[in-house]
Amino acid sequence: MRRSATELRGQILAAARAEFARYGLAGSRVDRIARVAHASKERLYAHFGDKEALFREVVATDVATFYQSVTLRPDRVPEFAGDVYDLGRNSPEHVRMIAWARLEGLVLDEPRPDSQLLFEHAITAIETAQADGHVDRTWEPLDLLAMLFGIGLAWAHAPDEYQGTTDPAVIARQRAAAVEAARRIIGSPVDN
Amino acid sequence: MRRSATELRGQILAAARAEFARYGLAGSRVDRIARVAHASKERLYAHFGDKEALFREVVATDVATFYQSVTLRPDRVPEFAGDVYDLGRNSPEHVRMIAWARLEGLVLDEPRPDSQLLFEHAITAIETAQADGHVDRTWEPLDLLAMLFGIGLAWAHAPDEYQGTTDPAVIARQRAAAVEAARRIIGSPVDN
């Protein structure tokens, strides 16, 4: 059973993201990644360069996947905060990868076109929502977007001792709080 | 010039927090910390145990300092979001230490009494604000506190490419946005 280069690449990336999400860049070990992917370190290096290059590859993919998972619709801005909340709960490893990358100071030199497009799409959606009267026009779209993420991920960023609940009632309450907070912030003339 | 044990301890902690804030637990090197503190690794270990114990000590101190720097007053809840914003801007190394600790999965076994007291003080302040009519009583105090931090630190948690501004006008705009968002969320009957 020989693997194609694409299969091998995919298996290395999967092993790398599990390792990196858990241990970060500095704490991760390439030999563990290679072992899980059933590849030699030499083949891994041949495909991805060094450990940092592999880390960047995983982060770029995760950022793109993260943004692709939530869509900001002009007429449903508050729901976006709820979707971000769900994303933080369901994809904690993505949140971790992005946080590791930020701490490591790894600015992605060129944001991938797909991430950039998704970001621009979100900003455009807020502008449309403002033009359509769904969102108070006094907000700078960039600030509002940052705060919608901040609210949706508020519990994911809280100290461990106050998060990590698995109680469905608590999860539902937190999600509803995020949506309601967003609804109040956007100050829709209909609702206020 | 012999240093007292207290002085030595303080210098090791200062060197450790600079190293840990920058490199995290896995990426930090005890020999660099010892060199900056002009101490031998042996004395460092004698005072603090291993690298992880030293990391925990720094995090516990930083969490306490962080919470001590902001006070939630029942009649000025929106300003709290602004104070948290300032804290995120002025103490990025504290934000980083807390983020590293969360990623490393280092739950502080026993929150220090001072941190715990400050946390309880914040919750009590929200309850008082609700009793006094400053804050909508439908919010669970714990959720509101998480969201106030989420809003205040929204820009500090954003991907690097969209933060890191030093433009005073942008900083003032972001801070004002955080305060205004909090004002709308608490839904004070006076303001709405």
Closest-approach residue (CA) in chain A for B172? A143
For residue A192, tell me if it sits in a domain: no
Q: How many domains does chain A have?
A: 2
pLDDT class of B192 with cuts at 50, 70, 90: very low
pLDDT of res. B110: 57
pLDDT of res. B120: 86
pLDDT of res. A66: 79
Rounded Cα distance between A62 and A6, Å, is 18
Of B49, B69, B84, the residue that ends a domain is B49
| B150 and B128 inside one domain | yes
Q: Alpha-carbon torsion A132, A135, A137, A141, what sign?
A: negative
For residue B145, tell me if it sits in a domain: yes
Among the ranges A1-15, A106-120, B112-126, B156-170, which has the highest mean pLDDT value?
A: A1-15
Q: Which residues of A touch B144 (CB under 8 A)?
A: 177
| B2 and B92 inside one domain | no
pLDDT of res. A129: 97
For residue B191, tell me if it sits in a domain: no
Q: Give the gap in angstroms from C-alpha B3 to the nearest C-alpha of chain A.
A: 33
| B63 and B84 inside one domain | yes
C-alpha torsion angle, residues B154, B159, B160, B165 (rounded to 10): -40
| A91 and A169 inside one domain | yes
pLDDT of res. A190: 43
Of B25, B49, B73, the residue that ends a domain is B49
| B150 and B63 inside one domain | yes
For residue B156, tell me if it sits in a domain: yes
Q: pLDDT of A62-100, one tens digit each?
A: 877 877 888 999 999 999 999 999 998 988 888 888 888
For residue A191, tell me if it sits in a domain: no
Evaluate whether A125 touches A73 at the Cβ level (below 8 Å): yes
pLDDT class of B183 with cuts at 50, 70, 90: very high
Determine what percent of chain B is predicted with pLDDT higher than 90: 58
Q: pLDDT of B125-181, one tens digit each?
A: 999 999 999 999 999 999 999 999 999 999 988 765 555 678 899 999 999 999 999
| B6 and B89 inside one domain | no
Which contacts of A6-14 are long-range, i.e. CB under 8 A and separated by 24 or more positions?
Answer: A8/A37, A8/A39, A8/A43, A8/A47, A9/A47, A11/A37, A11/A38, A11/A39, A12/A37, A12/A39, A12/A44, A12/A47, A12/A48, A12/A54, A13/A57, A13/A58, A13/A61
Q: Which residues of B touch A184 (CB under 8 A)?
A: 184-185, 187
Domain range for A40 is: 1-49
Mutant choice from B29, B59, B157 vs A, greatest count of A C-beta within 10 A: B157
Give the residue-averaged pLDDT of B115-126.
Answer: 85
Instruction: Check A159 against B102: CB less than 8 A apart.
Output: yes
pTM beyond 0.80: the answer is yes
pLDDT class of B190 with cuts at 50, 70, 90: very low
Q: Give the CATH number, domain containing residue A31.
A: 1.10.10.60
pLDDT of res. A92: 83
Evaluate whether B51 touches B30 at the Cβ level (below 8 Å): yes
pLDDT of res. A67: 77
For residue B192, tell me if it sits in a domain: no
Q: Which of B143, B158, B185 is nearest residue A146 as measured by Cβ atoms? A: B158
Q: Which of B96, B178, B192 is nearest residue A192 as measured by Cβ atoms? A: B192
Determine what percent of chain A is predicted with pLDDT higher than 90: 58
| B133 and B87 inside one domain | yes
**Residue at B54: amino acid letter:** L
Q: Which of A98, A142, A184 is nearest residue B187 as measured by Cβ atoms? A: A184
pLDDT of res. A157: 82
Q: Is the pLDDT of residue A189 over 70?
A: no
Instruction: Check B159 against A98: CB less than 8 A apart.
Output: yes
Instruction: Check A108 against B149: CB less than 8 A apart.
Output: no
pLDDT of res. A131: 97
pLDDT of res. A126: 97
| A25 and A112 inside one domain | no
pLDDT of res. B188: 52
Evaluate whether B97 touches B17 at the Cβ level (below 8 Å): yes
For residue A70, tell me if it sits in a domain: yes
Give the residue-averaged pLDDT of B50-73.
Answer: 87
pLDDT of res. B109: 54
Higher local confidence (pLDDT), B137 or B118: B137
Q: Give the CATH number, domain containing residue B109.
A: 1.10.357.10
Q: What is the mean pLDDT of chain A?
A: 87
pLDDT of res. A191: 46
Determine what percent of chain B is predicted with pLDDT higher than 70: 89
Instruction: Check A178 against B99: CB less than 8 A apart.
Output: no
Q: Give the gap in angstroms from C-alpha A161 to the nearest C-alpha of chain B.
A: 7
Out of A156-160, B80-84, B172-176, least confident range: A156-160
Instruction: Check B181 against A185: CB less than 8 A apart.
Output: yes
Query: Which two tokens mark A1?
Result: 């059973």
| A20 and A69 inside one domain | no
Higher local confidence (pLDDT), B35 or B106: B35
Q: Which residues of B touch A161 (CB under 8 A)?
A: 107-108, 111
For residue A16, tell me if it sits in a domain: yes
Give the residue-averaged pLDDT of B87-105.
Answer: 85
DSSP state, residue B134? S
| B41 and B59 inside one domain | no
Out of A52-61, A110-119, B63-72, least confident range: A110-119
| A105 and A180 inside one domain | yes
| A78 and A143 inside one domain | yes
Query: Residue A122 CA to chain centroid, in angstroms?
Result: 14
Q: Which residues of B touch A23 (CB under 8 A)?
A: 26
